[in-house]
Chains A and B, each alone.
Chain A
């Protein structure tokens, strides 16, 4: 960063870049700082944009593709979570086309593993389930995959049920970025990808896990849960996250 008030001899003074960008979202005018994303502006102004991998306080990966929006002049759909605003941007957050894509993406997630809500600890408190209802998904027309996925209950307090995992990587990010332990990561690739602890050992044997439980609470579905909860009893608490993120940032 060079200070803006110093002008080298022989060069023209640089016009200071405007710190406010004005843009339109769904036909309404908004202003934003240049480092903000479409999602930031939408969130501040109570405009709903669906998303599953994004979580306030964690870095953004643009992986679930639910937050894709239409931007005038771009022939591609852009992920709202990572697309910065620019002057004169015109964003459409919902259209029949976007709605159809979003429903299909949710459908694909339902078919990928075994999401049986009626027996899930997170039934009623699940981001995936909530999003499906919000987007008006009434049935899944793609066939199910029914993979064999295991449940690891070796940890003293927590359980991971891979049948419910949607590979949003929130657990990977919270453990790396906030807790600083990086116990979780993704192994394999494609349809065979899976989250693992350490060298794919049983979670209970992990030598790096601090048992802080942050991964459990950021998990959008019933994949990560606390032991001892019956069906529909697992409620997640995430209020700590923005605070911790802020504290981590102020330290650095």
Chain B
């Protein structure tokens, strides 16, 4: 790369971009650092929006469409902000045969959202995981980063109502 291209500026003055810049610097501003950098962005901001993708792509000299392709290929990345609370239902094999589908059914009925969606009031996001590796606790659910084991539709509902209760 010999031609000079001016360095892109972070989309906002937000201090969190310094974290993103640090990751890119650590990886030598090479295109191979794309996924690591997206991890940092998501950790700092919660999701990957268009301005973030554009900034990262331009900084690492990655084509925009490739950055978008990578961000949408990996299910760990999300392009939309998550709700105030997240509930991840594990759909690993052990959880599946021990009743995870019933948990998902209950969630969908109560909240009227599908996996990957957030309630209209922005309170709860429903997600699924392919396996949390907590098979000994099947079926497992993660409430806001806290793993709960041997969950029943009833205990799930109790947890959800706590979240909704605090809201009102």
Question: Inside 8 A of A186's CB, which chain B residues have their CB?
Answer: 69
A208 CA / B72 CA spacing, docked (Å): 20
Q: Are B63 and A208 in contact (CB under 8 A)?
A: yes
A197 CA / B65 CA spacing, docked (Å): 6
- B64's nearest neighbour on chain A, judged by CB, is A198
Known: A182-B63, A199-B50, A208-B63. A189 touches B73 (CB 8 A): yes
Contact with B along A107-118 (1 / 0, CB 8 A): 000000000000
Contact with A along B46-73 (1 / 0, CB 8 A): 0000100110000000011111110011
Contact with B along A173-213 (1 / 0, CB 8 A): 00010000111111111000000111110000000100000
- B70's nearest neighbour on chain A, judged by CB, is A185
Question: Inside 8 A of A196's CB, which chain B residues have their CB?
Answer: 65, 68-69
Question: Inside 8 A of A197's CB, which chain B residues have their CB?
Answer: 65
> Which of B53, B54, B67, B72 has the largest count of A CB atoms less than 10 A from its CB?
B72
- B72's nearest neighbour on chain A, judged by CB, is A187
Q: Are B63 and A200 in contact (CB under 8 A)?
A: no
Q: How many residues of A contact B (CB 8 A)?
A: 17
Contact with A along B141-160 (1 / 0, CB 8 A): 00000000000000000000
Chain B interface residues (CB < 8 Å from chain A): 50, 53-54, 63-69, 72-73
A88 CA / B73 CA spacing, docked (Å): 41
A184 CA / B68 CA spacing, docked (Å): 10
Q: How far apart are A97's CB and chain B's nearest CB, in angstroms?
A: 33
Q: How far apart are A63's CB and chain B's nearest CB, in angstroms?
A: 15
A184 CA / B65 CA spacing, docked (Å): 6
Question: Inside 8 A of B64's CB, which chain A residues have their CB?
Answer: 198-199, 208
> Which of B50, B66, B67, B69 has the largest count of A CB atoms less than 10 A from its CB?
B69
Q: Are A200 and B66 in contact (CB under 8 A)?
A: no
Q: How far apart are B69's CB and chain A's nearest CB, in angstroms?
A: 4
- A207's nearest neighbour on chain B, judged by CB, is B64
Known: A185-B66, A200-B72. 15 other contacts (CB 8 A): A172-B65, A176-B63, A182-B63, A184-B65, A185-B65, A185-B68, A187-B68, A188-B72, A196-B65, A197-B65, A198-B65, A198-B68, A199-B53, A199-B65, A208-B65
6 pairs of A and B residues whose beta carbons are closest in the complex? A185-B65, A182-B63, A185-B69, A198-B64, A187-B72, A199-B68
Q: Are A199 and B54 in contact (CB under 8 A)?
A: yes
A185 CA / B68 CA spacing, docked (Å): 8
> Which of A172, A188, A200 has the largest count of B CB atoms less than 10 A from its CB?
A200
Question: Inside 8 A of A172's CB, which chain B residues have their CB?
Answer: 65
Q: How far apart are B131's CB and chain A's nearest CB, in angstroms?
A: 18
Q: Are B68 and A200 in contact (CB under 8 A)?
A: yes
Q: Are A185 and B63 in contact (CB under 8 A)?
A: yes
A208 CA / B67 CA spacing, docked (Å): 14
Q: How far apart are A195's CB and chain B's nearest CB, in angstroms?
A: 9
Q: Are B73 and A188 in contact (CB under 8 A)?
A: yes
A194 CA / B67 CA spacing, docked (Å): 14
A172 CA / B68 CA spacing, docked (Å): 13
19 sampled A-B residue pairs with Cβ under 8 A:
A182-B63, A182-B65, A182-B66, A183-B63, A184-B65, A185-B63, A185-B68, A185-B69, A188-B72, A188-B73, A196-B65, A196-B68, A198-B65, A199-B50, A199-B53, A199-B54, A199-B67, A208-B63, A208-B64
A23 CA / B99 CA spacing, docked (Å): 57
